[in-house]
Amino acid sequence: MIRLQGVSKSFAGKTVLKDVDLQVPEACLYGLIGPGASGKSVLLKLVTGLLKPDSGRVLVDGRDINQMTDLELQQFRTKFGMLFQNNALFDYLTVGENIAFPLRRLFDLTEDEIQQRVGQRLRYVSLPGFENRLCAGLSGGQKKRVGVARAMVTQAQIVLYDEPAAG
């Protein structure tokens, strides 16, 4: 379960989120809808610990992520897969390297296991055989699908999609 209690966040004196309370139960599909620049992306980054709130608490499975050490936070992030608003792909890496990136950073897998997962996810997003293509040469829709494959490759408990229909 994800719970935000009185969460506020500002940047350069501009309040983006103020006293947000939110509870998302387990095994739930939940959507945040709002106009551009209303704080949806900021909220997702707070949930994953990529940003810290100015005030309030962010709890995932009962744990306050603001109280975690850097090592605990790194281990905690293995629970999440995330599709970023701009896909956040490395243009200088191949599709396969982009999808494998979180596996190499967060898990102790063999190269065969990594390649198997990458291939499975590429088939899932209808891009089989794209492993060796550079991301710089992909269309916007193809980049979005590579981002989806990367978000899902870790088999995370929680997958967050930021603007999944954009692009």
CATH number reported for the structural domain that contains residue 25 in this entry: 3.40.50.300
Q: Which pLDDT value is given to residue 33?
A: 86
* 88 lies in some domain: yes
Identity (one letter) of the amino acid at 25? P
In this structure, the answer to whether residues 89 and 58 fall within a common structural domain is no
In this structure, the answer to whether residues 92 and 145 fall within a common structural domain is yes
Q: Which pLDDT value is given to residue 5?
A: 97
Task: Give the separation between CA 78 and CA 33, rounded to whole angstroms.
Answer: 26
* 166 lies in some domain: no
**Residue 88 near residue 135, CB atoms below 8 Å:** no
Per the structure, the complete domain to which residue 24 belongs is given by 2-67
Q: Quick one: the chain helix, strand, coil %, rounded to 5?
A: 40, 25, 40
Q: Which pLDDT value is given to residue 75?
A: 84
Q: Tens-of-pLDDT digits for all 167 residues of the chain?
A: 999 999 999 999 999 999 999 999 988 888 888 888 889 899 999 999 989 999 999 999 999 999 999 889 888 888 888 888 777 899 899 999 999 999 998 889 999 999 999 999 999 999 999 999 999 999 999 999 999 999 999 998 888 888 777 76
E strand segments, 69-120: 80-83
In this structure, the answer to whether residues 115 and 142 fall within a common structural domain is yes
Q: Which pLDDT value is given to residue 150?
A: 94
In this structure, the answer to whether residues 36 and 11 fall within a common structural domain is yes
* 72 lies in some domain: no
In this structure, the answer to whether residues 91 and 157 fall within a common structural domain is yes
In this structure, the answer to whether residues 96 and 143 fall within a common structural domain is yes
In this structure, the answer to whether residues 6 and 34 fall within a common structural domain is yes
Total number of domains constituting the chain: 2
Token pair of 64 as six digits: 């306050």
Q: Which pLDDT value is given to residue 157?
A: 87
In this structure, the answer to whether residues 138 and 99 fall within a common structural domain is yes
* 87 lies in some domain: yes
In this structure, the answer to whether residues 91 and 146 fall within a common structural domain is yes
E strand segments, the chain: 2-11, 14-24, 55-60, 63-64, 80-83, 158-161
34: DSSP letter: -
